[in-house]
Chains A and B, each alone.
Chain A
Amino acid sequence: MRVIRAAIDEMYTVIGQMVGSVFRHGLPLTDKIAARTALTNFVLHIHPVRVRRSWIRMSYTLCLGGLSFFLFIVLTVTGLYLMFYYVPSTNHAYQDMRDLQFVVTFGGLIRNMHRWAAHAMVITVWLHMARVFLTGAYKKPREFNWGVGTLLLLITLLLSFTGYLLPWDQLSIWAVTVGTNMAKYAPIAGPYTRYLLIGGRVVGDNALLRFYVLHVVGLPLVGFLLMVVHFWRVRKDGFSGGL
């Protein structure tokens, strides 16, 4: 009997240790515990320990940066689902896209979410940039983050451009033909750039695979890293609102 009770006590200790290793600070009942939780927690560390009401006035930021990030998450998740059915080859791409629209249950929903979120993200990123410009939030000490932001705008546009080829219909093939021919007009580097970009002289299998890899891995990865820096700088430089 005593042995069993000791075993149960031991079990409670182990469970307590396991729970305690995840929830290390207990309930945030006092300001001190709340602050320590926010400081030491990975998920919460991006959040300031204290936020002034004036910093988060919605009429100032219009939530445009947050909306852009939200749309990026929507695009990542829906894009992942599309990847389960899409094969980036000229023999399969168009048929797979049609199957997503008409055969796969909820495939049309996911594809349209991806499409509209992509359009919306281009819009919100532009508007976010316009807001930062119009409120003068790019000025010292935030010049660096303005630079990171312009790169993020570029990544957004490149994601939009590379994704445009993937349905492999007439619109996307000729849009990318036109787009990469524009790159060809750059002095000296132009023709090399186009050859590198589409892996050949015409928009074919190589171009589709290259754009696919850039669209689902390369550009999102660079974008994610830049976002990490972007958000970190927002925290370190402080919010511009209410200054």
Chain B
Amino acid sequence: MAADFRRLIQDSREMTRRSFLAMAGWLGFTAASLIALYQSVRMLYPNATYEDPPAFKADAPGAYAVGSTTVIIDKRVVINHDPNGFYAISLICTHLGCTPRYFQDVTSDLVLAGSSISKDPDTGQQATKADPALPGFKCPCHGSRYFRDAVNFFGPAPRPMDRVHIEVARDGRLFIDRSVIVDRTFRLKV
């Protein structure tokens, strides 16, 4: 093959018809194979998935009392209503993507076992021997724990869970878009 190419470049008359046709055949075969390879990989990239769309509507803001934590497990979203406003948490563990669960007390077993729990940098809350129980999230896969505001404090999770965009839709209900990640200071005032 290589010698045939060299001969073709030097002087095509030095090449026999037979080896030219053989070379053209192999070139065509190679090109067709490469195209088929591309097609067979490209086909496996879906152009449409039928997954749940990232944006959805929850209830009207009045349905969420101040200080409440509401887990919408089907959407993997948490709506927290604090005195200074609403914010939504994407309920996806930042370790490896499982769904953490909400518990009224995620700290007292650790406190009583003697481990010190760091202060929540956002709320300033800290579990102490005197007041060991704080609500939050525990991940069932590898035991990561988060405070109620999604800040991680225990286990392999490397960072707080993402906050996602929340607004009041035109019909008065809360509108949450899981594809838009917002700052940790984001609050929706209603």
Contact assessment for B39 and A104 in the assembled complex, using a CB-CB cutoff below 8 Å: no
Nearest chain B CB to A176 CB, angstrom units: 27
Contact assessment for A106 and B43 in the assembled complex, using a CB-CB cutoff below 8 Å: yes
Q: Does B3 contact A (CB under 8 A)?
A: no
Contact assessment for B48 and A107 in the assembled complex, using a CB-CB cutoff below 8 Å: no
Within 8 A of A (CB), among B19-57: 39-40, 42-48
Contact assessment for B39 and A103 in the assembled complex, using a CB-CB cutoff below 8 Å: no
Residues of chain A with a CB closer than 8 A to B39's CB: 106, 109
Nearest chain A CB to B38 CB, angstrom units: 9
Contact assessment for B43 and A81 in the assembled complex, using a CB-CB cutoff below 8 Å: yes
Within 8 A of B (CB), among A89-136: 99, 103-107, 109-110
Contact assessment for B43 and A105 in the assembled complex, using a CB-CB cutoff below 8 Å: yes
Q: Write the A60-88 contact mask toward B (1 if CB under 8 angstroms, else 0).
A: 00000000000000000000010011000
Contact assessment for B40 and A103 in the assembled complex, using a CB-CB cutoff below 8 Å: no
Q: Which residue of B lies closest to A77 (CB)?
A: B40
Contact assessment for A110 and B43 in the assembled complex, using a CB-CB cutoff below 8 Å: yes
Residues of chain B with a CB closer than 8 A to A107's CB: 43
**Number of residues of chain B lying within 8 A (CB) of chain A:** 9
Residues of chain B with a CB closer than 8 A to A85's CB: 46
Residues of chain B with a CB closer than 8 A to A99's CB: 48
A176 to B39, CA, bound (A): 33
A107 to B44, CA, bound (A): 9
Contact assessment for B43 and A103 in the assembled complex, using a CB-CB cutoff below 8 Å: no
A-B contact count (CB 8 A): 23
Decide if the interface of chain A is mainly helix, strand, loop or mixed. Answer: loop
Contact assessment for B48 and A84 in the assembled complex, using a CB-CB cutoff below 8 Å: no
Q: Which residue of A lies closest to B39 (CB)?
A: A106
A110 to B39, CA, bound (A): 10
Q: Which residue of B lies closest to A109 (CB)?
A: B39
A237 to B43, CA, bound (A): 43
Contact assessment for A104 and B40 in the assembled complex, using a CB-CB cutoff below 8 Å: no
A103 to B44, CA, bound (A): 12
Contact assessment for A103 and B42 in the assembled complex, using a CB-CB cutoff below 8 Å: no
Contact assessment for B44 and A84 in the assembled complex, using a CB-CB cutoff below 8 Å: yes
A103 to B46, CA, bound (A): 8
Contact assessment for A105 and B47 in the assembled complex, using a CB-CB cutoff below 8 Å: yes
Q: Which residue of A lies closest to B43 (CB)?
A: A106
A231 to B40, CA, bound (A): 30
Kindly name the residue among B42, B43, B44, B48 whose own CB sees the greatest number of chain A CB atoms within 10 A: B43
Kindly name the residue among A84, A85, A103, A106 whose own CB sees the greatest number of chain B CB atoms within 10 A: A106
Q: Which residue of B lies closest to A110 (CB)?
A: B43
Nearest chain B CB to A98 CB, angstrom units: 11
A104 to B39, CA, bound (A): 11
Residues of chain B with a CB closer than 8 A to A84's CB: 43-44
Residues of chain A with a CB closer than 8 A to B40's CB: 81, 106
Q: Which residue of B lies closest to A92 (CB)?
A: B50
Nearest chain A CB to B41 CB, angstrom units: 10
Nearest chain B CB to A29 CB, angstrom units: 20
Contact assessment for B48 and A103 in the assembled complex, using a CB-CB cutoff below 8 Å: yes
Q: Write the B41-82 contact mask toward A (1 if CB under 8 angstroms, else 0).
A: 011111110000000000000000000000000000000000
Q: Which residue of B lies closest to A81 (CB)?
A: B43
A105 to B40, CA, bound (A): 10
A103 to B47, CA, bound (A): 6
Q: Of A81, A104, A109, A110, which one neighbours B47 at CB under 8 angstroms? A: A104
| Interface CB pairs A-B, < 8 A, 19 | A81-B40, A81-B43, A84-B43, A84-B44, A85-B46, A104-B43, A104-B46, A104-B47, A105-B42, A105-B43, A105-B45, A105-B47, A106-B39, A106-B40, A106-B42, A106-B43, A107-B43, A109-B39, A110-B43
Given contacts A84-B43, A84-B44, A109-B39, 5 further A-B contacts (CB under 8 A): A81-B44, A85-B46, A99-B48, A105-B45, A107-B43
